[in-house]
Structure 1
Amino acid sequence: MSPDEVTVECSWKIENIDKVWEKILWKEKLSQLAEETNINNCFSMSKKTSDPCPCSLKICLTKNRNFIALQILSEVPMIEVHGQYEEYLMTVRGELLDEVDGSALYECRIDLPKMQSEILLKFCKLKEATSVWLYGISAVTKSVETSASVPSLSGKAAGANRLLASLMHGLNQGGKNIDSIETIVDKKLTEMEHRMMSRIDERLDRIEKRMEDENSRIIALLSDLKKQLIQ
């Protein structure tokens, strides 16, 4: 990844490094991160003196790539994961790998339910900590197609294109005082809604009539059966 392909923001102050994105291991699949990380990939995040906000790290991809999975080695036992527009996705409990002199090492493996162009990691259960160490982070990403790569329209998309062309033709008709294409679209949608409701009402009427006829037939059969039993 290059500087124009990824941005990283932290709610706390990042210590001892300038470029967090350089510390991320970009991978094709998750692996044994504990065996791959080293001291050069470690950094700490320190709480700002007067800022009560929790520690969080936001990573955004900007060049048609999305996150599939992430892996975090840190002192954090639990991480809240949020996606695009800070939509909550999941909470991941870390696996305790080691604990020495009160310092713990947890591994959080995050398999995303759907691809995301940005990830917000909220570090939980920090108690009264004013600094947190992150020992390693890896990310699995995948390229995504852009709309420009779609060569042509087909099916419903082609139908929508023809409808739009028809609407534009309506706008170009002389002598019509139409403010915008939204007016035409609203009118067309209203007409479509009325036609659909009319068809639904007709179908419901037919079903109701069929049910009434069937009920009448059943009542007649029961009546005949009752007469036969009485005789």
Structure 2
Amino acid sequence: MGIFGRRKRGTAAGSEPESDVAVSATADDDNDGDGYGGGRGDSGGEPHGEAGPYDVDEAPDDGVARMDLGSIRVPVPNGAQVQVEMDQANGTVRAVHIVTSHGQVTVSAYAAPRSGGLWREVSGELADQLRADGARVSLGRGEWGMELSAIVGEVALRFVGVDGPRWMLRGVIAGPQSEAARAPEVLRDIVRGTVVDRGEAPMPVRTPLQITLPEAIAAHLKNRQEQAANQQSSPSQAPSPPQRSPRP
């Protein structure tokens, strides 16, 4: 579901529509020293104290490995998988998901007004939308202010939002209800370690900040796409005729 629009019927709230191409890689795979594993375990809140999320101008030199997606740099827990959703129609990245044993985490950044307060608006709209779609919704206070919980069928969702300098960061984790008690802290850990690089270019409020894939993931994705294209273009081989046994 998009952060600001109504979702299509039949798709789980809080999740993006399925893409035509998906790539997965564990956080521990293909790590040549710049991997992504590790890390620390009312209105929208703002980054405060030494805890994140961080604006790029205040990013700490903490040694935490982060996946650089251009507009955001996200820590990936050990053992997690990174899944990339692509829009095959235009070749753009729809979303990057971090799949953990407790649920799927998606972190997204958006342009926001200097005055802040965008998460207050968005969380209210999101709650109304989820209720209209039949979800059970509850609101509560968390580390950065308002957090939103929802139950959609067998899926438990938790949303958090943080208002930064001209940006808003939204995080959501979707997983089975059996993990609903532990999933929120997994989400908070990832959001807490995220760095946002909005850039200086003017853009309308609520515009998603562009995602750029790391070189290794982009190359892996391109290889997968080429393999799929080759398989589709190769003519199917005719089955070999049965071999007759020699006469005795």
TM-based fold match above 0.5: no
- Bigger Cα Rg: 1
More helix by share: 1
TM-score, normalised to structure 2's length?
Answer: 0.21
More strand by share: 1
TM-score, normalised to structure 1's length?
Answer: 0.23
